[in-house]
């Protein structure tokens, strides 16, 4: 890493820079519809938003170079509803990618989510990236997603011991996701 990076909670005065950062991060991502920055704006106004789990990575010079958002979701089946989190999106400024910032953001987000009592998280992501943090294919836990996506891209992780024990069902996202 070029300089020490601090991970901290996003503040209202960061919103404009976070918007630009997310837009830049996804600009050349083929699978993206390039609207992730708007999703974050919507999620901030939704009941799924957890201010403590919208995190930015900041350089010593005060430049925001990364962001991650974890929001509340539910995993539901005919009999039960379980609270969990969705990791979406994760963004690193293109000139700062592949220097460990995404990894630091994810790991810190997991620690903070666990400290808040959240036992698990799910995401749709690249199977070449997220398993290093402990993510497993969600179907191994009996968790399904409400859209068609390659099974190995649909992942889940236990943030607390046995955080997904007995948790089975379909992921229900906040309406802000438009799913
Ligand atoms: C994906 C992203 C968040 C990773 O953050 P980062 O800070 O660049 O990644 P890190 O430095 O922590 O990790 C680098 C490792 O991740 C791998 N990696 C990075 N992006 C990847 C991707 N899209 N798919 C698979 N592997 C990826 C690198 O090959 C590297 O692997 P290595 O350690 O084996 O060499 C960042 O590249 C980014 O913002 N990409 C554009 C937006 C995006 O795709 N977000 C994720 C949506 S699921």
Domain-wise residue ranges, the chain: 5-177
Nearest residue by C-alpha to atom 35 in ligand 1: 98
Predicted pLDDT of residue 39: 98
User: Residue 102 Cα, ligand 1 centroid: separation in angstroms?
Assistant: 7
Predicted pLDDT of residue 2: 59
Closest CA to 21 of 105, 109, 69, 92: 92
User: Residue 81 Cα, ligand 1 centroid: separation in angstroms?
Assistant: 32
pLDDT greater than 80 at residue 109: yes
Could you please state the CATH topology (level 3) that the domain comprising 5-177 is classified under. Aminopeptidase (3.40.630)
Supply angle C-alpha 134, 139, 144, rounded to 5: 115
What is the average pLDDT value for the chain, to the nearest integer?
97
């Amino acid at each position: 890493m070029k300089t020490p990076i601090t991970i901290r909670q996003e503040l209202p005065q960061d919103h404009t820079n976070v918007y630009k950062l997310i837009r830049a991060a996804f600009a050349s991502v083929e699978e993206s519809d390039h609207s992730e920055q708007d999703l974050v704006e919507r999620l901030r106004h939704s009941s799924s938003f957890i201010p403590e789990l919208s995190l930015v990575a900041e350089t010593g010079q005060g430049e925001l170079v990364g962001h991650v958002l974890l929001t509340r979701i539910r995993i539901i089946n005919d009999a039960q509803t379980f609270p969990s989190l969705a990791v979406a999106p994760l963004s690193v400024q293109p000139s700062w990618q592949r220097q460990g910032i995404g990894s630091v953001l994810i790991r810190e987000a997991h620690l903070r989510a666990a400290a808040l009592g959240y036992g698990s998280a799910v995401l749709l992501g690249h199977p070449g990236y997220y398993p290093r943090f402990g993510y497993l294919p969600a179907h191994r836990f009996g968790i399904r997603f409400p859209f068609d996506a390659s099974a190995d891209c649909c992942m889940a992780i236990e943030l607390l011991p046995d955080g997904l024990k007995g948790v089975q069902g379909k992921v229900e996202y906040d309406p802000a996701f438009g799913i």
